[in-house]
């Protein structure tokens, strides 16, 4: 080998040796989970966060998404997040309220006038306070951002227009006593159950209905089980949360934490745009599949649920007033 060639060879070797530790740099896989299927707005926005984080950290972090409840229902996934087995979780605030009662203010029936009101609240100081309650509480989760869950309406096998029509009707609610109380106050029989169990419970007649937003009603296929009456009750407008396990968070550098927060906040607004489109699209699909959207007198359900707001809202009277005051 000539001297020149030798030089080139050793330079190449040096470069390769130098490159080795970089290439072999341990990559941290972040497990992210969601009950919704691939392509759902929350899943897409969470994946975006992962891609941005991977690019910004030159591949140090890589997100692996586990959609479609493959890691369990939301209650189980919250527990897995608390111990660090799941690193990033997108969950409804509903089951979080069972762990952090303070967030139940947002889980109360008719606490928001409409979705625009809900967005104004979560985007402002009250929204930040509730995120902080989760991060600073004993939950072992760091709340990164909000996502949209639209308005929840009732779907049943027989038409429902008034609370009286719900007599004897078994309706699945999310796992949080507040929701069972809500359905009972609305006139039905609230039954708490994980999202993944609802389809077969509807099929076998264990329950007669459930309640959710149009994208969930469609993608869960619940509408195929005979629940074709969709009463537009708007009884719950529950924001959703993107959280990181504190176990994971504590292992990040300050800079990495700032990146996760920044991309989380961006995911909030990306999801919102996708959400609006998805509600419109799935409404069309549900109607085409024969689901009957029925307008109801919401005041009847609002009045019926007053005891629930009184019971769960009592410790948060000031906060409820502040929420009502947000324009
Ligand atoms: C959906 C929500 C999920 C889950 C589900 C349910 O609207 O996005 O996080 O809470 O409802 O009813 O369990």
Task: Give the start-to-end residue ranges of the domains of the chain.
Answer: 3-149+238-277, 151-237+282-325
Ligand 1 atom closest to the Cα of residue 92 is 9
Instruction: Enumerate residue ranges in the chain where pLDDT < 70.
Output: 1-25
Per-residue pLDDT at 15 = 45
Cβ pair 323, 122 in contact under 8 A: no
Three-class SS of residue 230? Answer: strand
- 126 Cβ contact list (under 8 Å, min separation 6): 319, 322, 323, 326
Q: How far is the CA of 119 from the centre of ligand 1 (A)?
A: 18
Q: How far is the CA of 203 from the centre of ligand 1 (A)?
A: 19
Q: How far is the CA of 195 from the centre of ligand 1 (A)?
A: 7
Per-residue pLDDT at 6 = 52
Is the Cβ atom of 179 under 6 angstroms away from ligand 1?
Answer: no
> 3-149+238-277 sits in which CATH class?
alpha beta
3-state helix, strand, coil in the chain (%, to 5): 55, 20, 25
Q: How far is the CA of 91 from the centre of ligand 1 (A)?
A: 7
Per-residue pLDDT at 18 = 44
Percent share of the chain, pLDDT over 70: 92
Is the Cβ atom of 212 under 6 angstroms away from ligand 1?
Answer: yes
**Residue nearest atom 11 in ligand 1 by C-alpha distance:** 212
Is the Cβ atom of 213 under 6 angstroms away from ligand 1?
Answer: yes
Q: Cα separation of 216 and 289, whole Å?
A: 15
**Largest Cα–Cα distance in the chain?**
95
Per-residue pLDDT at 11 = 47
pLDDT one-digit tens code per residue, 224-237: 999 999 999 999 99
Q: Cα separation of 170 and 153, whole Å?
A: 15
From 74, 77, 89, the mutation candidate for ligand 1 (largest count of ligand atoms within 8 A of CB) is 74
**Residue nearest atom 9 in ligand 1 by C-alpha distance:** 92
Is the Cβ atom of 35 under 6 angstroms away from ligand 1?
Answer: yes
Token pair 């419970």 is at which residue? 201
Is the Cβ atom of 305 under 6 angstroms away from ligand 1?
Answer: no
pLDDT one-digit tens code per residue, 76-115: 999 999 999 999 999 999 999 999 999 999 999 999 999 9
Is the Cβ atom of 216 under 6 angstroms away from ligand 1?
Answer: yes
User: Please, which residues bridge with residue 230 across strands?
Assistant: 155, 293
Per-residue pLDDT at 16 = 43
Closest among 133, 183, 131, 127 to 153, alpha carbons compared:
183
Instruction: Classify domain 151-237+282-325 by CATH architecture.
Output: 3-Layer(aba) Sandwich (3.40)
Separation in Å, CA 178 to CA 12, 103, 137, 192, 284: 66, 12, 20, 10, 31
Closest among 153, 130, 105 to 314, alpha carbons compared:
105
Output the six-digit token pair for 201: 């419970």
Q: How far is the CA of 213 from the centre of ligand 1 (A)?
A: 9
Q: How far is the CA of 68 from the centre of ligand 1 (A)?
A: 11
Per-residue pLDDT at 154 = 98
Per-residue pLDDT at 13 = 43
Number of residues written out for the chain: 327
How many C-beta atoms surround the C-beta of residue 140 within 10 A?
19
């Amino acid at each position: 080998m000539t001297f020149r060639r030798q030089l080139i060879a050793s330079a190449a070797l040096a470069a390769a040796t130098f490159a080795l530790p970089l290439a072999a740099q341990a990559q941290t896989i972040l497990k992210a989970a969601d009950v919704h299927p691939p392509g759902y707005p929350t899943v897409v926005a969470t994946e975006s966060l992962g891609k941005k984080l991977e690019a910004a950290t030159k591949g140090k972090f890589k997100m692996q998404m586990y959609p479609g409840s493959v890691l369990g229902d939301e209650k189980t996934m919250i527990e897995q997040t608390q111990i660090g087995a799941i690193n990033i979780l997108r969950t409804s605030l509903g089951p979080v309220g069972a762990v952090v009662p303070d967030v139940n203010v947002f889980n109360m029936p008719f606490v928001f006038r409409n979705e625009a009101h809900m967005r104004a609240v979560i985007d402002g100081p009250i929204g930040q306070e509730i995120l902080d309650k989760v991060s600073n509480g004993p939950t072992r989760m760091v709340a990164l951002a909000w996502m949209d869950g639209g308005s929840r309406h009732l779907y049943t096998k027989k038409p429902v227009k008034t609370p009286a029509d719900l007599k004897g009707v078994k309706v699945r609610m999310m796992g949080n006593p507040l929701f069972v109380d809500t359905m009972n106050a609305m006139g039905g029989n609230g039954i708490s159950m994980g999202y993944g169990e609802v389809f077969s419970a509807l099929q076998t007649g264990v329950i007669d209905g459930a309640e959710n937003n149009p994208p969930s009603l469609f993608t869960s296929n619940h509408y195929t089980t005979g629940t074709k009456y969709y009463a537009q009750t708007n009884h719950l407008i529950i924001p959703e949360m993107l959280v990181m396990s504190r176990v994971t968070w504590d292992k990040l550098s300050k800079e990495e934490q700032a990146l996760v927060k920044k991309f989380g906040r961006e995911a909030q607004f990306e999801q919102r745009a996708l959400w609006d489109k998805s509600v419109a699209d799935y409404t069309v699909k549900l109607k085409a599949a024969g689901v009957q959207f029925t307008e109801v007198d919401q005041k009847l359900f609002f009045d019926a649920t007053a005891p629930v707001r009184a019971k769960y809202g009592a410790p948060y009277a000031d906060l409820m007033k502040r929420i009502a005051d947000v324009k």
